């Protein structure tokens, strides 16, 4: 597959940000102060279904009001993602875009311009290596690829 050319003029990103995942799975569950919505594009739900051999309805429910997303991941009774097991993602290689981004998010700024932002709630922020421009280029390219796959 030909890589998607990335025009970094289409997005901004935070400078001097460090991040290292400590595998706490905070991003995969509700907390006392935050209810998580793990949003799925249609193609993501279909891919997860294929990989897990489960019907989409077994791990997600349809949600039409959060375009471009089509589904929201189901949770266990204690607020964890149904695809989390022992604090590990069972579909890590095929995890949704929203999961790949965390603790970052991509905000639309208008006129085809986006901005990467991050949340301080993640204990990995401020630790580990500095996230360089190439990291954001790859993340943005994945975003563009997923939007194209979903006809957006």
Residues 67-103: pLDDT tens digits?
789 999 999 999 999 999 999 999 999 999 999 999 9
Q: Is 1 part of any domain?
A: no
Which residues constitute the domain of residue 91? 9-149
Torsion of CA 131, 136, 21, 128, to 10 degrees: -10
- pLDDT tens digits for 97-144? 999 999 999 998 877 789 999 999 999 999 999 999 999 999 999 999
**Residues 63/69, Cβ–Cβ less than 8 Å:** yes
Tokens of 22: 């400590």
* Total domain count, the chain: 1
Tokens of 53: 């051999």
Is the CA virtual torsion 90, 125, 20, 8 positive or negative?
positive
Q: Is 2 part of any domain?
A: no
pTM of the model: 0.85
| Residue 7: per-residue pLDDT | 58
Q: Is 84 part of any domain?
A: yes
| Residue 8: per-residue pLDDT | 54
What average pLDDT score do residues 42-59 get?
Answer: 96
Q: Is 95 part of any domain?
A: yes
How do the residues of the chain divide into helix, strand and coil, expressed in percent and rounded to 5? Answer: 30, 25, 45
Q: Is 20 part of any domain?
A: yes
Q: Is 78 part of any domain?
A: yes
Q: Is 89 part of any domain?
A: yes
């Amino acid at each position: 597959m030909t890589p998607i050319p990335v025009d970094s003029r289409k997005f901004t990103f935070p400078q001097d940000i460090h991040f290292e995942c400590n595998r706490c799975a905070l991003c995969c569950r509700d907390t006392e102060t935050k209810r998580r919505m793990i949003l799925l594009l249609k193609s993501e739900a279909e891919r997860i279904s294929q990989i897990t051999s489960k019907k989409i309805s077994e791990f997600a429910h349809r949600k039409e009001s959060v375009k471009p997303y089509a589904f929201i991941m189901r949770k266990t009774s204690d607020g964890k993602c149904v695809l989390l097991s022992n604090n590990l993602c069972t579909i890590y290689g095929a995890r949704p875009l929203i999961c790949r981004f965390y603790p970052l998010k991509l905000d639309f700024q208008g006129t085809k311009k986006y901005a990467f932002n991050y949340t301080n709630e993640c204990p990995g922020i401020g630790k580990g290596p500095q996230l360089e421009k190439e990291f954001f280029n790859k993340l943005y390219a994945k975003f563009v690829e997923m939007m194209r796959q979903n006809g957006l």
